[in-house]
Amino acid sequence: MGSLPYVSSYYAASAHLARPWPQLQGSIECDACVVGGGIAGCSAALHLAEQGMRVVLLEDHRIGWGASGRSGAQALFGVAAGQAKLERLIGAADARAVWDVSVAGLALMRELIARFRIDCDWADGHLLTAVKPRHERELRKEVRELHDTYDYTSVRYLPREELRATLSTGRYLGALYDSNSGHLHPLNYTQGLAAAAGGAGVQIFEGTRALRYTASGAGPVQVTTAEGEVRARQLVLCGNVYLGATAPALASKIMAVATYIVATEPLGAERARQLITNNAAVADMNWVLDYFRRSADHRLLFGGRVNYSGLRSFDAPAATRARMLSVFPQLRDVRIDYAWGGDVDITLNRAPHFGRLAPNVYFLQGFSGHGMALTGIAGKLVAQAVAGTAGRFDVFARIPHGNFPGGAALRRPALVLAMLYYRIKDLL
The string of pLDDT tens digits covering residues 161-174 is: 999 999 999 999 99
CA angle 47, 50, 52 (to 5 degrees): 120
Tell me the three-class secondary structure of the chain, residue by residue: CCCCCCCCCHHHHHCCCCCCCCCCCEEEEEEEEEECCCHHHHHHHHHHHHCCCCEEEECCCCCCCCHHHCCCCEECCCCCCCHHHHHHHHCHHHHHHHHHHHHHHHHHHHHHHHHCCCCCCCEEEEEEEECCHHHHHHHHHHHHHHHHCCCCCCEEEEEHHHHHHHECCCCCCEEEEEEEEEECCHHHHHHHHHHHHHHCCCEEECCCCCCEEECCCCCCEEEECCCEEEEEEEEEECCHHHCHHHCHHHHCCEEEEEEEEEEECCCCHHHHHHHECCCCEEEECCCCCCEEEECCCCCEEEEEEEECCCCCCCCHHHHHHHHHHHHCHHHCCCCEEEEEEEEEEEECCCCCEEEEEECCEEEEECCCCCCCCHHHHHHHHHHHHHCCCCHHHHHHHCCCCCCCCCHHHHHHHHHHHHHHHHHHHHHC
Q: What is the mean pLDDT of the chain?
A: 91
Quick check: 362 and 385 in contact, CB under 8 A? yes
φ and ψ at 418, to 5 degrees? Answer: -65, -40
Q: Do 196 and 141 share a domain, yes or no?
A: no
CB atoms within 10 A of CB 347: 21
Q: Do 134 and 164 share a domain, yes or no?
A: yes
d(CA 288, CA 398): 29
The string of pLDDT tens digits covering residues 20-42 is: 999 999 999 999 999 999 999 99
Go through the chain and tell me how many residues it has: 428
pLDDT at residue 48, as a whole number: 98
* Residue 420, pLDDT above cutoff 50: no
pLDDT at residue 307, as a whole number: 56
Q: Do 316 and 248 share a domain, yes or no?
A: no
CA 224 to each of CA 20, 150, 234, 282, 297: distance values in angstroms, whole numbers, following the listed order: 21, 45, 14, 42, 43
Q: Do 248 and 259 share a domain, yes or no?
A: no
Q: Do 249 and 261 share a domain, yes or no?
A: no
d(CA 410, CA 414): 6
Out of 346, 365, 390, pick the residue that ends a domain. Answer: 346
Query: Domain limits at 160?
Result: 124-179+255-346
Q: Do 267 and 168 share a domain, yes or no?
A: yes
Q: What percent of the chain has pLDDT over 70?
A: 92
Burial class (CB within 10 angstroms; exposed 0-12, middle 13-18, buried 19+) of 172? buried
Decide if 114 is inside a domain: no
Residues facing 358 on adjacent strands: 361
Decide if 426 is inside a domain: no
Instruction: Give 424's pLDDT tier (boundaries 50, 70, 90).
Output: very low
Burial class (CB within 10 angstroms; exposed 0-12, middle 13-18, buried 19+) of 387? middle
Q: How far from the centroid of its chain's Cα atoms is residue 326's Cα?
A: 26
Decide if 80 is inside a domain: no
Regarding predicted confidence, which is higher, 191 or 369? 191
Q: Do 168 and 192 share a domain, yes or no?
A: no
Out of 346, 365, 386, pick the residue that ends a domain. Answer: 346
Instruction: Give 297's pLDDT tier (boundaries 50, 70, 90).
Output: very high
Instruction: Give 314's pLDDT tier (boundaries 50, 70, 90).
Output: low
Going 392 to 394 to 395 to 397, the CA torsion angle's sign is positive
Q: Do 272 and 317 share a domain, yes or no?
A: yes
d(CA 298, CA 264): 9
Regarding predicted confidence, which is higher, 407 or 87? 87
Decide if 100 is inside a domain: no
Quick check: 422 and 287 in contact, CB under 8 A? yes
Regarding predicted confidence, which is higher, 100 or 252? 100
Instruction: Give 306's pLDDT tier (boundaries 50, 70, 90).
Output: low
Q: Do 273 and 166 share a domain, yes or no?
A: yes
pLDDT at residue 218, as a whole number: 73
Decide if 353 is inside a domain: yes
Decide if 111 is inside a domain: no
Q: What percent of the chain has pLDDT over 90?
A: 82
The string of pLDDT tens digits covering residues 66-124 is: 999 999 999 999 999 999 999 999 999 999 999 999 999 999 999 999 999 999 999 99
* Domain count of the fold of the chain: 2
Q: Do 195 and 234 share a domain, yes or no?
A: yes
Q: What is the CATH number of the domain that holds 165?
A: 3.30.9.10
* Residue 417, pLDDT above cutoff 90: no
Amino acid residing at 142: E
* Residue 285, pLDDT above cutoff 50: yes
Instruction: Give 414's pLDDT tier (boundaries 50, 70, 90).
Output: very low
Q: Do 194 and 229 share a domain, yes or no?
A: yes
Quick check: 226 and 296 in contact, CB under 8 A? no
Instruction: Give 406's pLDDT tier (boundaries 50, 70, 90).
Output: low
The string of pLDDT tens digits covering residues 184-232 is: 999 999 999 999 999 999 999 999 999 999 998 778 999 999 999 999 9
Amino acid residing at 61: H
Instruction: Give 409's pLDDT tier (boundaries 50, 70, 90).
Output: very low
pLDDT at residue 98, as a whole number: 97
CA 401 to each of CA 184, 351, 371: distance values in angstroms, whole numbers, following the listed order: 31, 8, 18
Q: How far from the centroid of its chain's Cα atoms is residue 404's Cα?
A: 20
pLDDT at residue 217, as a whole number: 74
Q: Do 365 and 235 share a domain, yes or no?
A: yes
* Residue 6, pLDDT above cutoff 80: yes
Decide if 422 is inside a domain: no
Decide if 5 is inside a domain: no
Instruction: Give 305's pLDDT tier (boundaries 50, 70, 90).
Output: low
d(CA 178, CA 284): 14
Q: What is the CATH number of the domain that holds 209?
A: 3.50.50.60
pLDDT at residue 423, as a whole number: 44
The string of pLDDT tens digits covering residues 319-351 is: 999 999 999 999 999 999 999 998 888 999 999
